Amino acid sequence: MSTSEYASPPSVEFLYHDNHNWLQSWLRRRLGCAAEAADLAHDTFVRLLRSPQRFDSQPEARAYLRVVANGLCIDLWRHREVERAWLDTLAVLPEAQTPSPEDQHIVLQALQEIDTMLRSLSPKAARAFVLSTACGMTHQEIAGELGVSSRTVGTYITQAMLHCMRLEADSQVPHGTSEP
């Protein structure tokens, strides 16, 4: 049923059958890689399974799938940026200081998690947090750098710390359960 209007809300199975090839082709054009396109198309439908949506037409379903897939593309590109920066850092380290492959993988995962966390903050809050924690700058120095008051810097850093604590708490709760 590839009509523009659905008679009733289609199942995920039907949406997959009706849109998978189209989505994978769209992703292949966007990414230039059939394997990555297949992976992201799969991930898009997994997201749809986890959070079912109702669509009244195929164009509406495809618009939603395109938005989800585009977000996954952006995540992929961001992860590549972080990985490229990490590899650049490793390239200038003396061989004796190069971490083991296992440690390199752990650091890369941590960097990607930090990047995801920082991108979920406002740009100024993220910058204030990095300048404080990674660069050891004072609130006054950060205020001068960002063009805000020291009090605002404190607010930004507090927001970032609370966000980190929420993410840590969320990672401790098993999925499918909720805390009392």
The pLDDT tens digits of the residues spanning 71-89 come to: 999 989 988 998 998 889 8
Same domain flag for 58 and 92: yes
- Whether 5 maps to a domain, the answer reads yes
Q: What is the pLDDT of residue 9?
A: 54
- Whether 114 maps to a domain, the answer reads no
- Whether 40 maps to a domain, the answer reads yes
Same domain flag for 134 and 77: no
Same domain flag for 89 and 166: no
Per the structure, the complete domain to which residue 173 belongs is given by 120-180
The per-residue b/e assignment along 143-166, b for 16 or more CB within 10 angstroms, e otherwise, is beebebeeebbeebbebbeebbee
- Whether 108 maps to a domain, the answer reads no
**Measured distance CA(7)–CA(70) in Å, rounded:** 28
Overall domain count for the chain:
2
Same domain flag for 93 and 4: yes
CA angle 103–105–92, rounded 5-degree value = 75
Domain boundary among 65, 99, 133: 99
Coil vs helix vs strand at 57: strand
Q: Are 6 and 62 in contact (CB under 8 A)?
A: no
**Measured distance CA(164)–CA(162) in Å, rounded:** 5
Same domain flag for 8 and 57: yes
**Measured distance CA(39)–CA(52) in Å, rounded:** 20
Closest C-alpha to 111, from 137, 90, 139: 90
Q: What is the pLDDT of residue 174?
A: 61
Q: Whole-number mean pLDDT of the chain?
A: 87
Looking at residue 132, which CATH number applies to its domain? 1.10.10
- The model carries a pTM of 0.65
Over 60: is that where the pLDDT of 179 sits? no
- Extract the tokens encoding 166: 């929420």
Q: What is the pLDDT of residue 110?
A: 87
- Whether 115 maps to a domain, the answer reads no
Same domain flag for 94 and 173: no
- Whether 131 maps to a domain, the answer reads yes
**Measured distance CA(117)–CA(76) in Å, rounded:** 15
